[in-house]
């Protein structure tokens, strides 16, 4: 089961987030991507194709196809189950309409894997104000997911997801742009992973502990706010930064800080570098080791609900290819990005090391993310 979580974010994250866009239709452009994630016993890779096209000066359509091929022997898998392989396919369609200073956007996204299906519909509207120096945006998404379980044909649970978004972008000076964003997400349904287990002390077990299935609340509300900025330097360089705050009804509080720098080299090269720091507290019902079976109503040992910190260093390079003399192709680029991520868990222990339960070494791992893509404007 490959749900949206930190892996997907790592694969798709740019070096540093930018303020929200103004009411301008996307360029006519095609991107072909290969991505690969390696870390913590998990490998994810696959291709993606994205095409955008304007017509009649005020409309734009887009289509995207994305594939994740997963091979997992993570610590969660090897301690309570068997390594597995699966494939996730995702397709999306989008439509944009520009009406004066107002832009309307709708999109439909669907993804499928052998034990999880997700469908999402989104609507966004943005408006330029005050001489195009200010942009205000509103958005809403509705998701319908279905959770299944390998080996159990009768297991089928729904999940309902809703997202409400508000954004503000301001051109402060000719060289400084800033943005504010706020989002509320509500989830209802089967929200845990049917394969995960918690461990509890069991004096009758040779290991000193035993496992039972996780139990999560069936509702969750999350709130996030962010402040970002981009400062344009001479010689076409730019500094960017973002702070993001997150909290939810499960007791998780998180903070993210991003810093980025973009530097052109000659007429064809652009180099990028960035750093991201992330820190979160644990969910109220999380524990690495419970005192006994059925200790409380809700039980979790997913390390992504524990207290942990991550550090990410990013490097990227873009090269603008020479003109091929093709009339339909205005310009094209080759882009390569690399992220190195370190995850450090404060209350999730590596049971593979053995020893007295609750005294095993704390877990941590490094991950590498590669993204190679070719972009063409037409």
Which pLDDT belongs to residue 285? 98
Can you give the pLDDT of all 378 residues of the chain as single tens digits?
Answer: 544 343 343 333 333 344 445 678 989 999 999 999 999 999 999 999 999 999 998 999 999 999 999 998 899 888 877 788 999 999 999 999 999 999 999 999 999 999 999 999 999 999 999 999 999 999 999 999 999 998 899 999 999 999 999 999 999 999 999 999 999 999 999 999 999 999 999 999 999 999 999 999 999 999 999 999 999 998 889 999 999 999 999 999 999 999 999 999 999 999 999 999 999 999 999 999 999 999 999 999 999 999 999 999 999 999 999 987 788 899 999 999 999 999 999 999 999 999 999 999 999 999 999 999 999 999
List the structure tokens of 357: 């339960």
- Burial class (CB within 10 angstroms; exposed 0-12, middle 13-18, buried 19+) of 228: buried
CA 310 to CA 10: how far, in whole Å? 11
Q: How many residues would you count in the chain?
A: 378
Query: 1 lies in a domain?
Result: no
SS3 category, 281: coil
Query: 277 lies in a domain?
Result: yes
Per-residue 3-state assignment (H helix, E strand, C coil) for 290-352: ECCCCCCCCEECCHHHCCEEEEEEEEEEEEECCCCCCCCCCEEEEEEEEEEEEEEEEEEECHH
Domain hosting 344: range is 6-26+131-377
Query: 207 lies in a domain?
Result: yes
Query: 342 lies in a domain?
Result: yes
Residues 6 or more apart whose CB falls under 8 angstroms from that of 154 comprise: none
Contact 367, 38 (CB under 8 A): yes
List the structure tokens of 97: 């309409």
Contact 357, 318 (CB under 8 A): no
Q: What is the CATH number of the domain that holds 320?
A: 2.40.160
Query: 49 lies in a domain?
Result: no
Query: 253 lies in a domain?
Result: yes
Which pLDDT belongs to residue 268? 95
Q: Which of 24, 70, 67 is nearest to 43 (CA)?
A: 70
Query: 119 lies in a domain?
Result: no
Which pLDDT belongs to residue 61? 98
Residues 6 or more apart whose CB falls under 8 angstroms from that of 205 comprise: none
Specify the DSSP class assigned to residue 15. Answer: S
Which pLDDT belongs to residue 11? 38
Q: What pTM was computed for the model? A: 0.91
Query: 139 lies in a domain?
Result: yes
Q: Which of 142, 84, 94, 81 is nearest to 114 (CA)?
A: 84
Specify the DSSP class assigned to residue 286. Answer: B
CA 321 to CA 334: how far, in whole Å? 7
Which pLDDT belongs to residue 24? 84
CA angle 178, 181, 187 (to 5 degrees): 160
Q: How far is CA 159 from CA 59, 155, 224, in A?
A: 33, 13, 21
CA atoms within 13 A on the CB side of 139: 22
Specify the DSSP class assigned to residue 12. Answer: H
Dihedral, 209, 302, 349, 251 alpha carbons, nearest 10: -110
List the structure tokens of 364: 């941590």
Task: Give the count of domains, the chain.
Answer: 1
């Amino acid at each position: 089961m490959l749900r949206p979580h930190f892996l997907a974010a790592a694969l798709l994250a740019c070096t540093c987030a930018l303020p929200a866009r103004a009411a301008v239709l996307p360029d006519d452009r095609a991107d072909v991507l290969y991505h690969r994630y390696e870390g913590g016993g998990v490998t994810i890779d696959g291709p993606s194709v994205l095409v955008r096209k304007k017509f009649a000066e005020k409309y734009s359509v887009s289509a995207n196809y994305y594939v994740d091929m997963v091979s997992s022997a993570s610590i969660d898998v090897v301690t309570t189950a068997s390594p597995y392989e699966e494939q996730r396919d995702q397709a999306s369609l989008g439509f944009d309409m520009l009406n004066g200073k107002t832009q309307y956007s709708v999109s439909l996204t669907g993804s499928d894997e052998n034990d999880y299906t997700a469908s999402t519909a989104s609507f966004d509207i943005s408006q330029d104000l005050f001489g195009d120096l200010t942009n205000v945006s509103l958005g809403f998404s509705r998701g319908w997911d279905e959770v299944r379980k390998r080996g159990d044909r009768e297991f089928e649970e729904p999940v309902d997801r809703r997202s409400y978004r508000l954004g503000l972008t301001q051109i402060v000076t000719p060289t400084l742009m800033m943005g504010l964003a706020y989002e509320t997400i509500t989830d209802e349904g089967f929200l845990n992973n049917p394969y995960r287990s918690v461990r509890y002390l069991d004096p009758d077990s040779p290991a000193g502990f035993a496992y039972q299935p996780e139990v999560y609340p069936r509702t969750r509300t999350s709130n996030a706010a962010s402040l970002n900025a981009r400062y344009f330097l001479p010689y076409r360089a730019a500094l960017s930064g973002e702070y993001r705050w997150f909290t939810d009804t499960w007791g998780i509080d998180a903070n993210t800080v991003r810093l980025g720098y973009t530097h052109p080299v000659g007429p064809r090269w652009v180099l990028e570098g960035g750093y991201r720091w992330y820190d979160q507290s644990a969910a109220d019902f999380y524990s690495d080791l419970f005192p006994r079976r059925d200790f409380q109503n809700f039980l979790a040992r997913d390390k992504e609900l524990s207290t942990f910190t991550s550090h990410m260093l990013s490097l990227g390079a873009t090269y603008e290819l020479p003109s091929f003399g093709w009339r339909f192709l205005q310009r094209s680029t080759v882009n390569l990005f690399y992220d190195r991520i370190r995850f450090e868990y404060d209350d999730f222990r590596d049971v593979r090391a053995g020893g007295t339960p609750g005294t095993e070494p704390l877990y941590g791992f490094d991950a590498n993310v590669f993204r190679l893509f070719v972009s063409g404007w037409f």
